[in-house]
Amino acid sequence: MLYFANDYSTGAHPEVLKALLETNGDKLPGYGEDRLCGIAKEKIRRACGCPEAEVFFLMGGTQTNSVALSALLKGYEGVIAAETGHIGVHEAGAVESGGHKVITLPGREGKLDCAVLREWLEGFYGDESRDHMVFPGAVYISQPTEYGTIYSLGELESLSAICREYSMTLYMDGARLGYALVSPAADAGLEDIARLCGAFYIGGTKVGALCGEALVFPKGAPEHFFTTVKQKGALPAKGRLFGAQFDALFTDGLYLRISRHVMDMTERLKRVLTARGFSFYIDSPTNQQFILIENDRLERLTKSVALTLWEKPDADHSVVRFAADWSTMPEDIEALDAILAEL
Amino acid sequence: MLYFANDYSTGAHPEVLKALLETNGDKLPGYGEDRLCGIAKEKIRRACGCPEAEVFFLMGGTQTNSVALSALLKGYEGVIAAETGHIGVHEAGAVESGGHKVITLPGREGKLDCAVLREWLEGFYGDESRDHMVFPGAVYISQPTEYGTIYSLGELESLSAICREYSMTLYMDGARLGYALVSPAADAGLEDIARLCGAFYIGGTKVGALCGEALVFPKGAPEHFFTTVKQKGALPAKGRLFGAQFDALFTDGLYLRISRHVMDMTERLKRVLTARGFSFYIDSPTNQQFILIENDRLERLTKSVALTLWEKPDADHSVVRFAADWSTMPEDIEALDAILAEL
Amino acid sequence: MLYFANDYSTGAHPEVLKALLETNGDKLPGYGEDRLCGIAKEKIRRACGCPEAEVFFLMGGTQTNSVALSALLKGYEGVIAAETGHIGVHEAGAVESGGHKVITLPGREGKLDCAVLREWLEGFYGDESRDHMVFPGAVYISQPTEYGTIYSLGELESLSAICREYSMTLYMDGARLGYALVSPAADAGLEDIARLCGAFYIGGTKVGALCGEALVFPKGAPEHFFTTVKQKGALPAKGRLFGAQFDALFTDGLYLRISRHVMDMTERLKRVLTARGFSFYIDSPTNQQFILIENDRLERLTKSVALTLWEKPDADHSVVRFAADWSTMPEDIEALDAILAEL
Amino acid sequence: MLYFANDYSTGAHPEVLKALLETNGDKLPGYGEDRLCGIAKEKIRRACGCPEAEVFFLMGGTQTNSVALSALLKGYEGVIAAETGHIGVHEAGAVESGGHKVITLPGREGKLDCAVLREWLEGFYGDESRDHMVFPGAVYISQPTEYGTIYSLGELESLSAICREYSMTLYMDGARLGYALVSPAADAGLEDIARLCGAFYIGGTKVGALCGEALVFPKGAPEHFFTTVKQKGALPAKGRLFGAQFDALFTDGLYLRISRHVMDMTERLKRVLTARGFSFYIDSPTNQQFILIENDRLERLTKSVALTLWEKPDADHSVVRFAADWSTMPEDIEALDAILAEL
């Protein structure tokens, strides 16, 4: 069975695993106060060009989003997101469970449009009954988005400016951030993101780690954020689990090396799919590729290839997602090509 | 430096680590739907003698406690705990953050007394203004307790009977459950616990795992508990991380083997401490030992031995905790003895 | 100044006020356990043809909606509403503050369409990732809606059937329920509503009371709902305040008499507005009327008539709301007509 | 039947009722933006000697406490209270329902002791694991307390100083504040309270109003507190209900006149009870009096006098509460005396 269903179906990248192994016997303090976490945080601060940033390691994306937003938002505030934003769709209401509304605006291929955002804000602040409504306290974006698209540096600059103007925090969900950093379409680097966002996370789970996301507050964290993390059940006793992995990911550029490898595989994948006549549902410059396919062909295909069903645009067609990860190899693409040739 | 500060300062037990390594390359579905989680859950059900149990893997103790209790309690209910119970003291208000009061009763060496509990319940249900108060929906106990003590089978039977009588869930925090299972003072096994509790967790983090706790609902989980876990940010994409570890822990009795090794080391530790004239603050039959020591001796001791300061009973003395874990070896105890000899 | 801005700008209807006055000196138990509340509840049960209904009095609409929904929904559930539903727009995120998502669907003139609802539910339950999403636990409708429109009996039957099929509670916000009951367009009475809804409230504040809404659970309330009401801060010590008012409102058909008077005034108002050439933005059969007007005429009009600005469809026009209440008299309509004649 | 069961069993004081009646027909804006609320707030600011104070009217005590504290506390903070404090006992977990722990300290006759508070704070901030615990963000006191006792000006000064030192808000629950202001034992006035507290409320319900409490933030309210009030379901559409009542209560010193009348009646009551040989369970200088009585005498007494059972100190005795309110008259005390003479 070939596996393109998602980018979290394999364990950790060998270098990450090696770091876990090599430090396994070390006696270290608990709750993230250990040497490995310290080193990893310092490397991340350096990679972000942001010496005063505060970094916290959490387990996964939903947890990171909801813990961060609960600390960033005041009780009467909600967070703005594109209708397709992960927090509003596939996080089981985690943000609302913490007491905050997700205010959804129509997006374009997963992205929140600056003009749409500004128009909504002008409408909100021009509305005489706004005091009876949820105030916008943050803007949530994902980079890359749930559809694989990415925000340009210009778009991030504009979003950041709007957020400053309206006293909102720009929050970036970077579950797959690596792929957005090395994408041929990308022009925003980590330093730009750290400069433009109030908070963002560098996703580990989908970029070579077993688990873990690095939440970065470039200008400093909300007060007593450690306690918030503990209160929300997000503080493992053996914090080294995150420290060792992120130390590895930020040693010798491993995070970007993994990302580049995955994007190389994605380019090969796109070439194969194009050559085999498939049409792309969305023009995605990152590691998730969305293909339109007839249902009967899909049925045959999924006998030997694991994919994720995304949408059913009509009765006869499906949109499926192909995703590469660190373990995808050229021979996997070749094997896929051979299968497609026979389809 | 000798390390007796706690039981979460080393990584995973070698057999657990091996399981992570050997399965690292497998392509597996996400979110705990994988083969490894399935096998591990089945082994746990068997160890509990409870084929209809539902098992969920979560990251750590605070998370497990608060997610489980939020699903078990109705909005108008709280949870009863001893004053020293972890949920009421060192979980940063996680249960309250989920909307529920922790109703504390005086305990005895960390344990909730049946007579105290029953008296409180009779007072509550006899109080005419009870409808203005928080209803007790669950009883939280830890086994072993925060002071290392354990509930006997008879005590658990009584607590369980009271809970049935008053329609409350008996919930057991088993962060260090292994040590309570193999303690020379123990007479309650996993099957008893599964029979007597509405929910409990088998702690991994402090018994040989890198992370992870196995939450068991012997009579079935609250409806859609998977979604609750997701909503509370407790569902990692690579659920295999827990599956592989708990599969290993429940293969060839590893969980109990680790526990027995730690208790062997604890017995040696107790002998050494007794021989060196120390007095025990509490008579703990599990892996946490609490010693009364003069402050100046403690200062010298901590130059070469890592310990945890527990309490300061008076200006000249301290209570410190010694804890053994899977990595504690006979030579560590011998080295400690040598240091104590010189103290 | 003529007042058509809303239906909550005058105090209580004289018969309601009289009831408050006449019972003011009575010594009565607190917290709604008094004789007046008992009588009022019994009269409401009778008016609903529902002897087993449980009735609770709360202060206002936002409170009633959020307290009721917090008790009706499980932690992993949200409530479906039309995009224009009050709970999703003008209640400052009260439902989300209680931990639940408001799932919005496109509405039509304020109403939730059965076909739209069914399609969404089929999509949800057909979605393989539904366990990562918020489950629909209730459907919120307002009768009349925020745009004055009303659901027909047939529509309510259909919504109720869908709710039963999908195990959801049909919840009706009846802030202005009286006007929907007596509207010439209405064919659903209180008994129908009690038969078809899992919970609904009979609005007092906007139908002649000083404050207060009567929340009805036709098949019985959620367990310990009294305690939930207390916990949510919705239980006044002098519950008689609600008892006396609702006793009056349900004596000699006052609730419907007020409603009919207001609808009579509304019919006059519509005739005057039509005669003066105004166009109606929505065809509303209840006491809120939405009129399209040029901005400059509006400016002159509001010098002598209090109205509520609703929307600005373009740069030159406004939509304004006229609302009648119990205190609106024929001479108010005549005075308005005279002003419009001069406009 | 003589009524001494509580101070919320009669309706509104005649002057309060008159204000409701006289303004009933006025056309006023909704949601507390009306002229009456404006006047009442201004009078309260003046009575507090605090021109920059912000005042909000809410329905009842539990609501006021939980809404205020939810806005004052950060997510990781709890509120300190005496064990007998109303928020920790008889508010059904309202504060916890909003996500915050009530940290209880042993009190003395309902009062929080400065020394106990300081010792706890020193312990908390000296505890190395405090980051795993709930931070104290506010101190809750009730004036008078649930046992009728009152804090002296000196005690309030000390509590306020501790709060400033530890960056906590001093919050006063003034459900019966009037009686503490005019008590012969009192030396702290409204201006002192406004100077020393971060927030407090002037209770209306139990001091002559039908409903309503005036929440005062002497140094300004938390940002967008209006929206928080709305979100928590505490904003009635006809805010005039509160405006009219508090305008009356703060006109010609009515609030203090009512309080003095009630305290006069209480003095007579105490003399009668003393003369009849009853012993007081607590030395209460306000309108709640706690009497120790044999159960069989109590049974006879309650045939003609309504009282509240408070505690059962042993099998043969009860503690009962007598409370006077604005409607208690000298003839009620005389009638009681006659009944006691026959007991």
DSSP-assigned states of every residue in C126-184: H-TTGGGSPEEEEEEEESS-TTS----HHHHHHHHHHHHHTT-EEEEE-TTHHHHHH-T
What's the pLDDT tens digit per position in C219-243? 999 999 999 999 999 999 999 999 9
Q: What is the mean pLDDT of chain B?
A: 97
Q: What is the mean pLDDT of chain A?
A: 97
The predicted structure's pLDDT at residue C343: 87
Our separate counts of H helices and E strands in chain A read 14, 13
Distance from CA of A20 to the nearest CA of C (A): 30
Residue D267 has pLDDT above 90, yes or no: yes
Residue D244 has pLDDT above 90, yes or no: yes
**Distant-in-sequence, close-in-space partners of B164: CB < 8 Å, separation ≥ 6:** none
Q: What percent of chain C has pLDDT over 70?
A: 100
> Which residue type is seen at D227?
T
Distance from CA of C297 to the nearest CA of B (A): 52
Q: What percent of chain C has pLDDT over 90?
A: 99
**Distant-in-sequence, close-in-space partners of B338: CB < 8 Å, separation ≥ 6:** none
Q: Pull the structure tokens for residue D62.
A: 């539990």
**Distant-in-sequence, close-in-space partners of C71: CB < 8 Å, separation ≥ 6:** B75, C221, C222, C225, C228
D76 touches chain A (CB under 8 A): yes
Distance from CA of C34 to the nearest CA of D (A): 9
What's the pLDDT tens digit per position in D88-112? 999 999 999 999 999 999 999 999 9
The predicted structure's pLDDT at residue C263: 98
Residue A27 has pLDDT above 90, yes or no: yes
Residue B306 has pLDDT above 90, yes or no: yes
Domains in chain A, please, with CATH? 2-7+255-341 (3.90.1150.10), 14-254 (3.40.640.10)
Residue A135's pLDDT band, with cuts at 50, 70 and 90, is very high
Q: Which residues 271-300 of chain C have a CB within 8 Å of chain A?
A: none
A303 touches chain C (CB under 8 A): no
- Strands D288-294, D279-280: pairing is antiparallel
Overall average pLDDT of the D186-193 stretch: 97
Residue B325 has pLDDT above 90, yes or no: yes
Q: pTM, whole model, 2 decimals?
A: 0.97
Please state, in angstroms and rounded to a whole number, the distance separating the CA atoms of residues C191 and B179: 62
B100 touches chain D (CB under 8 A): yes
A304, A333 Cβ separation under 8 angstroms: no
C303 touches chain A (CB under 8 A): no
Give the residue carrying structure tokens 């940002």.
D223
Torsion of CA C41, C43, C47, C48, to 10 degrees: 20
Q: For B5, name the nearest residue in chain A, comparing CA atoms only.
A: A29
C146 touches chain D (CB under 8 A): no
- Which chain A positions have a beta carbon within 8 Å of D230's beta carbon? 131-132
- Which chain B positions have a beta carbon within 8 Å of D132's beta carbon? 90-92
Please state, in angstroms and rounded to a whole number, the distance separating the CA atoms of residues B125 and B110: 25
Backbone angles phi, psi at D195, to 5 degrees: -75, -35
What's the pLDDT tens digit per position in A257-277? 999 999 999 999 999 999 999
C128 touches chain A (CB under 8 A): yes
What's the pLDDT tens digit per position in A87-101? 999 999 999 999 999
The predicted structure's pLDDT at residue B268: 98
Overall average pLDDT of the D247-274 stretch: 98
Q: What percent of chain B has pLDDT over 90?
A: 99
Please state, in angstroms and rounded to a whole number, the distance separating the CA atoms of residues C264 and C269: 9
A307 touches chain B (CB under 8 A): no
Judged by CB atoms closer than 8 Å, whether chains meet at B210 and A238 is answered as yes
Overall average pLDDT of the B146-154 stretch: 98
Judged by CB atoms closer than 8 Å, whether chains meet at C93 and A102 is answered as no
Q: For C134, name the nearest residue in chain B, comparing CA atoms only.
A: B227
D228, D70 Cβ separation under 8 angstroms: yes
b/e for B170-195, b at 16 or more Cβ within 10 A? bbbbbbbbbbbbbbeebebbbebbbb
The predicted structure's pLDDT at residue C293: 96
B224 touches chain C (CB under 8 A): yes
Q: So what's the ipTM on this one?
A: 0.97
Q: What is the mean pLDDT of chain D?
A: 97
Strand order in the sheet with A213-217: A54-58, A213-217, A199-203, A169-173, A135-142, A77-82, A102-105
Please state, in angstroms and rounded to a whole number, the distance separating the CA atoms of residues D55 and D45: 8
Q: Tell me, rounded to whole angstroms, the distance of Cα D130 from its chain centroid.
A: 32
Residue B343 has pLDDT above 90, yes or no: no
The predicted structure's pLDDT at residue B84: 97
Please state, in angstroms and rounded to a whole number, the distance separating the CA atoms of residues C19 and B202: 62
Neighbours of chain C (3+ CB pairs under 8 A): A, B, D
Of A96, A131, A309, the CB nearest to C100: A96
Write out residues in chain C with pLDDT < 50, as ranges: none
B218, B56 Cβ separation under 8 angstroms: no
> Which residue type is seen at C91?
E
> Which residue type is seen at B247?
D
Residue D343's pLDDT band, with cuts at 50, 70 and 90, is confident
The predicted structure's pLDDT at residue A134: 98
Overall average pLDDT of the D44-68 stretch: 98
- Is the bond preceding residue B144 a cis peptide, omega within 30 degrees? yes
Backbone angles phi, psi at C206, to 5 degrees: -100, 5
The region, left, alpha or beta by phi > 0 then psi within -120 to 50, assigned to residue A20 is alpha
Q: For B95, name the nearest residue in chain A, comparing CA atoms only.
A: A231
CA distances from D41 to A50, C5, D32 (A): 48, 24, 10
Of B70, B134, B226, the CB nearest to C75: B70
What's the pLDDT tens digit per position in B277-287? 999 999 999 99
Neighbours of chain B (3+ CB pairs under 8 A): A, C, D
C129 touches chain B (CB under 8 A): no
Of C90, C96, C129, the CB nearest to A132: C90
Overall average pLDDT of the D304-326 stretch: 95
Q: What percent of chain A has pLDDT over 90?
A: 99
The predicted structure's pLDDT at residue A343: 87
Overall average pLDDT of the B56-77 stretch: 98
Give the residue carrying structure tokens 């595989």.
A265
C61, C71 Cβ separation under 8 angstroms: no
B6 touches chain D (CB under 8 A): no
Q: Which of D216, D206, D201, D224 is nearest to D328 (CA)?
A: D206
